[in-house]
């Protein structure tokens, strides 16, 4: 299955990955090879099979709605790329 | 000292024949001399390790010592350890200092073990050769032209080269077992949900499972005792009573039924690997086991199913790396979208980007049913094959990897060939079963061969028993590479 160039560009955009022309072309041929591998599973009859997400079929645990985390803003912000006055800085998003 | 079991090391420490500081320094010196060539560690921090060793010596002087108190353990660089640089093998996290401890790290700290350093790995655990690490490939200590396997290649190399007493790894599709096989050591991936994933940097959450890597099954049991246990901070952690994984080590194997799946011995398995695995099975028959021929008819679908599910989950998990709260941010950008796109493009390596792309594609509008849902359904078929098999046998055996370690660079350009090196390990993750690899000889090129042992859910103690009895009868696990 050879993916269309437009498909690869769309996926790169959805995944927020900047890619130049050469990278798009190389991704296109490598992804196509991988999708050929994946295609083997498409012929399998899975009618009536329940999808499996966890081996033990456990259900989501619930807990009391109480505060369990303490505020560690300074520690967490010490590893951020850009902060100012306790805020994370990003390019302006609202004009 | 370097070839002592963890039990022996613990006894020596408690008897004051050696101090934890001396033992830690011994390993730090070995790392300083051997790591430049092997590249097993990304980060060491001698002063922090030695401070932990001094604290351990204080515990050892009193009556509070536990079995692993004072023993230096290498931690895979996927586990957040407070104050330690934790990179996950990626440029994205090159300067990330973890602000908290993973559950696994906390468990080792509580046991009084020493964190000796952070081991090299494929970037975000995506790889089978360690070549995708941003920090350069690890070399196989048996042959430095060979890969150590992956993704826990640094851990496997460190154990084989005696650069630690034992190590931790994680296994999403074979990342403990395959490098253990390729480096001639022992490793076990326990039942999914047994070891908490809290603070273990996520790759594919429904498959990721941490486990120990060491020189023997006996050592693995002691390490599992520390690593396992319920943790409310991991929503898939299983609430189970603590168990002693060493309790059955010495049980006789008479009557053991070993299932051999015909699919694991078919086309694609190298002759020399098959020879070693067959010899190991013959040894088991001498120990009183019997053989049952079984079939895992859907196992051939494991690789395609895995390459839908794992990238899908990865594309979701790795969306957190946006260059805002932590991690790499591109130096130049004109707006927010460009900041995201450039930070991610520059911070992630080629294989990680490839998997994010696959995952994004299979989860995108119109494809979900055809890919993700279909893969989840086949996943159940694969698990059912094992259910059926375990009605006929107690453990399943086969090769861990289809060949011995391949050469560095050999599969670099062909992702599909690389993916196929996990053909025997992936089905175990999909089913959530425990699996292990132990040394079973050497291939025609002198590189190690691993025997894979697969158990039913929560059968770790049985598997360790099965492995230990083999290790009492053979000496493959005691062999060590030349020049180390």
pLDDT value of position A60? 84
Choose, from B19, B49, B175, B186, the residue flagged as catalytic: B175
Task: Please report the pLDDT score of residue B417 as a whole number.
Answer: 84
Q: Give the angle B36-B38-B40 at the CA atoms, nearest 5°.
A: 100
Tell me which residue in B298, B326, B345 faces A80 most closely, judged by beta carbons: B326
Which parts of chain B sit beneath pLDDT 70? none
Contact check, Cβ <8 Å, B192/A55: yes
Q: CA-to-CA distance for B477 and B221, rounded, in angstroms?
A: 15
Q: Which of B310, B321, B345, B434 to mutate to test the interface with A (most CBs of A within 10 A)?
A: B345
Instruction: Report yes or no on whether pTM surpasses 0.90.
Output: yes
Report the residue of A2, A16, A20, A89 to disrupt the B interface, i.e. the one with the largest count of B CBs within 10 Å: A16
Q: What is the pLDDT of residue B377?
A: 97
Best CA proximity match to B220, nearest among B175, B256, B168? B168
**pLDDT for B267-307, tens place per residue?**
899 999 999 999 999 999 999 999 999 999 999 999 999 99
Say what the pLDDT of residue B138 is. Answer: 98
DSSP structure class, residue B401? S
Provide the pairing of β-strand B290-294 with B257-261: parallel
**A56 with B238: Cβ contact below 8 A:** yes
pLDDT in tens, B82-96: 999 999 999 999 999
Residue A93: what pLDDT? 86
Give the span between the Cα atoms of B338 and B464, in whole angstroms.
51
Question: Of 1.10.20, 1.20.1270, 1.20.1740, 1.20.58, which CATH number belongs to A5-42?
Answer: 1.10.20
Question: Burial, A66: exposed, middle or buried (Cβ in 10 Å; 0-12, 13-18, 19+)?
Answer: exposed
Q: Which of B215, B199, B101, B214 is nearest to B168 (CA)?
A: B214
- Residue B63 pLDDT: 83
- B20 among known catalytic residues: no
| pLDDT given at position B392 | 98
Taking the C-alpha atoms of residue B287 and residue B255, their distance in angstroms, rounded to an integer, is: 9
Determine phi and psi for A31, rounding to 5 degrees: -65, -35
> At residue A57, does pLDDT exceed 80?
no
Of A38, A55, A75, the CB nearest to B383: A55
Nearest by Cα to B124 from B148, B151, B97: B151
ipTM score assigned to the predicted complex: 0.95
Measured in angstroms, the CA of A1 and the nearest CA of chain B are apart by: 13
Nearest Cα to Cα of residue B202 among B393, B352, B330, B325: B352
């Amino acid at each position: 299955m050879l993916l269309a160039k437009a498909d690869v560009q769309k996926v790169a955009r959805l995944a927020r990955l900047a890619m130049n022309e050469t990278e798009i072309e190389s991704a296109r041929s490598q992804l196509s090879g991988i999708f050929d591998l994946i295609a083997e599973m498409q012929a399998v009859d899975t009618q009536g099979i329940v999808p499996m997400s966890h081996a033990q079929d456990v259900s989501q645990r619930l807990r009391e709605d109480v505060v369990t985390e303490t505020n560690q803003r300074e520690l967490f912000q010490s590893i951020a790329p850009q902060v100012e006055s306790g805020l994370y800085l990003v390019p302006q998003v609202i004009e | 000292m370097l070839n002592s079991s963890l039990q022996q090391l613990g006894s020596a420490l408690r008897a004051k024949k050696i101090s934890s500081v001396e033992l830690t320094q011994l390993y730090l010196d070995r790392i300083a001399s051997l790591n430049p060539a092997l590249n097993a560690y990304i980060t060491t921090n001698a002063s922090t390790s030695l401070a932990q060793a001094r604290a351990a010596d204080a515990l050892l002087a009193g009556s509070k010592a536990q079995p692993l108190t004072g023993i230096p353990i290498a931690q895979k660089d996927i586990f957040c350890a407070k104050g330690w640089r934790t990179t996950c093998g990626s440029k994205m996290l090159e300067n990330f200092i973890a602000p908290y401890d993973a559950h696994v790290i906390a468990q080792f700290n509580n046991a009084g073990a020493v964190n000796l350093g952070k081991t090299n790995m494929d970037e975000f655990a995506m790889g089978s050769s360690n070549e995708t690490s941003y920090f350069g490939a690890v070399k196989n200590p048996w042959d430095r032209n060979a890969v150590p396997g992956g993704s826990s290649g640094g851990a496997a190399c460190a154990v084989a080269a005696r650069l630690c007493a034992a190590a931790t790894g994680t296994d999403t599709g074979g990342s403990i077992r395959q490098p253990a096989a390729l480096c001639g050591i022992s490793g076990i991936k326990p039942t999914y949900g047994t070891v908490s994933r809290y603070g273990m940097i996520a790759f594919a959450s429904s498959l990721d499972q941490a486990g120990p890597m060491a020189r023997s099954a006996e050592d693995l049991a002691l390490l599992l005792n520390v690593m396992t246990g319920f943790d409310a901070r991991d929503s898939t952690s299983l609430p189970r009573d603590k168990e002693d994984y060493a309790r059955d080590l010495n049980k006789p194997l008479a009557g053991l039924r070993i299932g051999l799946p015909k699919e694991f011995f078919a086309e694609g398995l190298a002759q020399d690997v098959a020879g070693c695995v067959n010899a190991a099975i013959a040894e088991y028959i001498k120990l009183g086991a019997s053989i049952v021929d079984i079939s895992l008819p859907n196992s051939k679908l494991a690789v395609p199913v895995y390459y839908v599910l794992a990238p899908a989950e990865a594309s979701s998990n790795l969306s957190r790396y946006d260059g805002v709260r932590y991690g790499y941010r591109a130096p130049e950008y004109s707006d927010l979208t460009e900041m995201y796109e450039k930070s991610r493009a520059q911070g992630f390596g080629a294989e990680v980007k490839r998997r994010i792309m696959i995952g994004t594609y299979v989860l995108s509008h119109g494809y979900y049913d055809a890919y993700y849902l279909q893969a989840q359904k086949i996943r159940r078929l694969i698990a059912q094959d094992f259910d059926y098999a375990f009605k006929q046998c107690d453990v399943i055996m086969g090769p861990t990897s289809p060949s011995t370690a391949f050469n560095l660079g050999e599969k670099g350009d062909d992702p599909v060939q690389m993916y196929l090196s996990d053909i025997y390990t992936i089905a175990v993750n999909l089913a959530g079963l425990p699996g292990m690899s132990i040394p079973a000889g050497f291939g025609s090129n002198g590189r190690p061969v691993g025997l894979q042992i697969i158990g039913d859910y929560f059968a770790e103690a049985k598997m360790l028993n099965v492995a230990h009895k083999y290790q009492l009868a053979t000496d493959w696990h005691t062999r060590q590479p030349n020049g180390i």
